[in-house]
Amino acid sequence: MHKYVIMGVQGCGKGTQAARLVGAFDLVHISVGDIFRWHIKNHTKLGAKVKRVVASGNLVGDDVVERIVHQRLEEHDWNFGFILDGFPRSASQARFFLESYDIDAVIHIRVPDDVVRDRVLSRRLCEGCGLDYNLISHRPKVESLCDVCGGQLVSRPDDTPESLADRLQDYHGKTEPVLDQFRLKELVLDIDGTASPDDIQTEIRSRLQI
């Protein structure tokens, strides 16, 4: 069984690399962001709360995130393992996680802030099927329309220069110290996120020895 955490600032390519590992090794991709977006799309009480927090450019509170992750992992549908994306993001969340679960490695994808800005501000999301696009690396065939369902492509509400600046500051101030906790247990694998997606995946598998 393989149990991994994948970390890195928004726009570093976590989702792309996690999806490749999931497909190759039959892992379950547990994305906190995807869970929140599902709740928002389905107009749940949690979704309304998350939507308000995200629109203000802030991060959802530790107590809410911890509860969501705990509930998801308790489903135990990850027979061959999981890759957790978007958690932990703070020292409190890291303590909760390390006390509750054993993991094999933390995949840390490193990307400079200026590259992150270019990537994030170029992201688009299909309003119909939820497919992700990027105007730099994954452009639609018809401008502003999804290749799959024809839905309108829009920016995420929090993909603005102001919100991104706040998230980068928050990441460096709160999330990077989490890596120090994992480093003490020799779990962290630092991966160059500026390489091509294929090269990044190759390095990840080599470092994981899988």
User: Which residues belong to the active site?
Assistant: 14, 89, 123, 156, 167
The rounded distance, in Å, linking the Cα atoms of 12 and 7 is 9
CA 82, CA 199: separation in Å to the nearest integer? 22
Q: Which residue from 138, 111, 143, 109 is spatially nearest to 122, judged by alpha carbons?
A: 138
Tell me the DSSP string of 152-209: BEE--TT-SHHHHHHHHHHIIIIIHHHHHHHHHTT-EEEEETTS-HHHHHHHHHHHHT
* Interatomic CA distance for residues 62 and 88, integer angstroms: 9
SS3 state at 127? coil
Asked if residues 149 and 128 have their Cβ atoms less than 8 Å apart, the reply is: yes
